[in-house]
Amino acid sequence: MAENFSDRWFFPLPRTHTGIPLGNGTMGALIWGSENVLKITLGRADLWDHRGGLEWKREMNLATLRRLLETGDEKSLREIFEQTTPTAGQPKRPSVLPIGRLELYLPEGKNLVSGQVEYFNGQVTVFAGEGKLLPVTFNLSLYQNLLVVQWAPELKPVKIAGRASWEFLSQYLSSISFTPPEFFSAEGVSGWVQKRPVDTPYCVAYQIKGCQLSVATAVAESPAEAVARAKTLFLKPEKKLASLRRKNSLWWKEYWSTAPVINLPNEKLQFIYRYGLYRFAGFTNPTGVPATLQGPWIEEYQMPPWSSDYHFNINVQLCYAPAYQAGKLQHLKPLFQMLWSWRNRLQHNAYLFCGIKDGYILPHAVDDRGISMGGFWTGTIDHGCTAWVAKMMYDYWLYGGEKDFLAEVAFPFMAGTMRVFEVMLKRRGKSWYLPVSVSPEYRGSSMNAWGANSSFQLACIHWLIEALVSACQALKQKINPLWLDIQKNLPRACVREKNGQKKIMLWEGTDLEESHRHHSHWAGLVPFDVIDLNDAYWRQVINNTYDWWWQLGMGLWTGWCIPWAAMIHARVGSPEIAEALIEYWQRLYTNQGYASLHDPLIYKRELVEKPVYRIGENTEVMQMDAAMAATAAVMDFLVHTRRGIHYLFSGAPESWREVSFKKIRTPGGFLVSAERIKNTTTRIEVTSLRNGTFRLASPWPEKTFLRTGQKKACFSGKFLSLSLPAGSTVILSGRPI
């Protein structure tokens, strides 16, 4: 897909997050600037200040929680479940730290003009000058935390300045016990070392040799060791740069060779997919650290919003969404390794919360050690976060077929997650119900932000049971009869009839009241897929829910919720809205550098002297979740599964006269390719990576013709079911093949 392909940016790129990104999963760079000043903002996803946060306490238990909620004891609730004021010199919660930037002052008149990302080798090239454009190239190693910049002799910088984040944040950093960085310049190497109050120091070091700048970052036990470690990364002979480029090119060649190829008549969506997969690589490189909200692209001028932490009530899930259909399952491994390393802590959380020793509870926002950020009681006790992570693990097995992972990690994690729900559930007559449940972020952390039978958590439970039963069958384990009893006697969603119409509620007694950013009451449809649209009852409930949801509008939405909404629209049969929403997201939730924003670009030109970027006081808030979700949504428009059945082109509007895709991976380990011309699907090709049954909602009204090798067959019916051995390929068509 990406052979010799690139996309272009145009200067000025006036702010950090308008910069062109480079990333290796741990270290990142943003290339931006204006006139003759080229700026390189450096970031790392693993530089934490680990102080602060909220350890699970004995008082944080289910019985106490229910009592405080039912009696309205807000003061006690917040004292127990939310963070107290930190002591002097301490931060309230852990945070990833900003690093700083380098500024290259090019010769007078050599102004920045344009830049491009070369997808086939990951190189960024910036062009400067008048008339004849001269290149500045940027190569970030995918294996080491080293950035190499080369320029044409005519562009040799007249000055290079290092600006540590302390320059922008000294007042705040000093208030939490940081000391100024130590700058150094000796033997041709310059940079700075930043000590951290409880964590080890980090170093930025840079060296100029001829027309080449090498920039390295390192962490070590002492400042001297950090500097020494950074120096070891510098390139010495010219041939080592060639080696770096060669290794990067081979990595990218492999990456693109196994990525799905799509051809859309909508260039905006085509770009979102292409650029999205590029960023996904730099965001989740398997040799790097698990992806946070911003990954390695941390601004230098402020502390990252929400600490650039791990948000498990949707954000991490969206950040990794492309991994599955794009077949980049290895990119999930660092995340799962981190999560599994927390299992003792998560078990301890469950023990304190509900008195069991074989459960897991994961709060919604944590640092890289699993410590809760605190300050949001509904998020802390939202057990749907744990279930959604369990789904990520199970989907890894479902798409990839790694049975050892299912047996050793995914199944134990799912079972431990379900154990907590088993305690949370209570009997009401013959039925089961959740007396205390929440819907992510709805009503914030107010005292009415809860109720019985949250549709979000009901969907989590039903998905868990279905997955556990399937896993037991795959692993030849006994199915817990309690799961089957709950499955039979617990509603799949909180449905209420009002004015003769049944629709899905947030929880008992609470309908959707606003254009809320978290479409959590839709979770039974997507992502958890426990509601069957082919069932007449649920189809009507979904229609009513959809009409009400659409009428409420999008005024309170954020960037990350729009691709999720687009997938909902595609599933219920509104591909035109699905397409328009992704275009809307790109227009209002990305800046001129295509960075993914949490808030819309709203300009109050007539009300203020200067344009502002949103209604409120915040400036740009960059998060990667929306961009990754949009990338996944494009693939989802082309093929997705519901209740084990493949549906093609559900998000492709009729105006797309020609559309095709190759080798999108689907659950069960299938690689699916298809083409549609003039609204008629002309050909489908399916390769099975392991033994399995491929189920398809046939796009043809009468017959389906099949060919595999020399074998031919003909089928009829709305749904097809094909048993495929590993390594086999079948071709399907509406005409004889």
Q: Is 511 contained in some domain?
A: yes
Q: What is the largest CA-CA distance in the chain?
A: 82
Do residues 137 and 23 share a domain? yes
Query: pLDDT tens, 222-245?
Result: 999 999 999 999 977 666 889 999
Do residues 510 and 656 share a domain? no
pLDDT of residue 614: 45
Neighbouring-strand partners of residue 671: 665, 687
Residue finishing a domain among 511, 530, 549: 549
Q: CATH number of the domain that 101 lies in?
A: 2.70.98.50
Q: Which residues of 26-56 are buried (b: 16+ CB within 10 A; e: fewer)?
A: bbbbbbbbeebbbbbbbbbbbbbbbbbbbeb
pLDDT of residue 374: 87
Run of H or E residues at 729: strand 729-733
Q: CATH number of the domain that 686 lies in?
A: 2.60.40.1180
**pLDDT exceeds 70 at position 478:** yes
Count of domains observed in the chain: 3
Do residues 212 and 324 share a domain? no
Do residues 16 and 164 share a domain? yes
Do residues 396 and 522 share a domain? yes
Do residues 249 and 397 share a domain? no
Residue finishing a domain among 549, 575, 609: 549
Containing structural domain, residue 375: 320-549
Query: pLDDT tens, 308-328?
Result: 999 999 999 999 999 999 999
Do residues 96 and 222 share a domain? yes
Q: Is 350 contained in some domain?
A: yes
Do residues 394 and 536 share a domain? yes
Query: pLDDT tens, 369-391?
Result: 999 998 889 999 999 999 999 99
Neighbouring-strand partners of residue 451: 437
pTM of the model: 0.96
Run of H or E residues at 485: helix 481-489
Q: Is 687 contained in some domain?
A: yes
Q: Is 471 contained in some domain?
A: yes
Q: Is 583 contained in some domain?
A: no
- The residues, any chain, with a CB within 8 Å of residue 607's CB and separated by 6 or more, are none
Do residues 388 and 243 share a domain? no
Query: pLDDT tens, 327-341?
Result: 999 999 999 999 999
**Cα separation of 623 and 589, whole Å?**
10
Q: Is 629 contained in some domain?
A: no
Q: CATH number of the domain that 511 lies in?
A: 1.50.10.10
Q: Is 604 contained in some domain?
A: no
pLDDT of residue 710: 82
Q: By the 8 A CB rule, do 666 and 325 touch? A: yes
